[in-house]
């Protein structure tokens, strides 16, 4: 059902400065950037490695674009740091149904569009020992970033 850790989402106040930290400190490069208007974030995806199931593992850096976004509210309360963990699955609908059937609250009735054209939903942190958990089905091919590349 769940095949890998897809990504760790990290909330930050300054996306450019945080990208530079990950580049200078760990050598990670930005693979993809986008603005998700629905979620009110500007994000950068840094690819860590490929995985056995053909997916990848990522660090997702999230900067709020508006004060009423979930990430902005989280930053105001918690400061910068780990915001969520995401598990990859080849069937986000099926995985959400199974996990929901086990008593965990699924936050979206239907999966939504996530980074790079993926389909996502979240699980309530109070049902996951305090961890906001995302389920992700990756798109078959990643779209170009804002600058026209990948």
What amino acid positions are annotated as catalytic residues? Answer: 7, 43, 60, 84, 134
| Beta bridge partner(s), residue 85 | 8, 133
For residues 119 and 81, what is the distance between their CA atoms, to the nearest angstrom?
24
Pairing of strands 56-64, 4-11: parallel
Half-sphere exposure of 120 (CA within 13 A, CB side): 20
* DSSP assignment string, 6-75: EEEEEE-S-HHHHHHHHHHHH---EEEEEEETTTTEEEEEEEEEE-TTS-EEEEEEEEESSTTSHHHHHH
């Amino acid at each position: 059902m769940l095949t890998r850790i897809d990504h760790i989402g990290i909330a930050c106040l300054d996306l450019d400065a945080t990208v530079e930290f990950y580049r200078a400190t760990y050598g990670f490069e930005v693979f993809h950037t986008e603005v998700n208007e629905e979620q009110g974030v500007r994000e950068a995806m840094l690819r860590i490695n490929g995985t056995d199931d053909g997916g990848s593992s990522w660090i997702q850096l999230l900067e709020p674009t508006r004060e009423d976004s979930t990430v902005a509210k989280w930053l105001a309360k918690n400061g910068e740091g780990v915001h969520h963990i995401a598990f990859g699955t080849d069937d986000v609908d099926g995985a959400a149904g199974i996990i929901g059937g086990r008593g965990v609250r699924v936050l979206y009735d239907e999966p939504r569009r996530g980074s790079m054209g993926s389909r996502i939903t979240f699980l309530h942190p109070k049902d996951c020992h305090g961890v906001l958990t995302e389920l992700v089905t990756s798109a078959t091919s990643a779209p170009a970033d804002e600058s026209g590349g990948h």
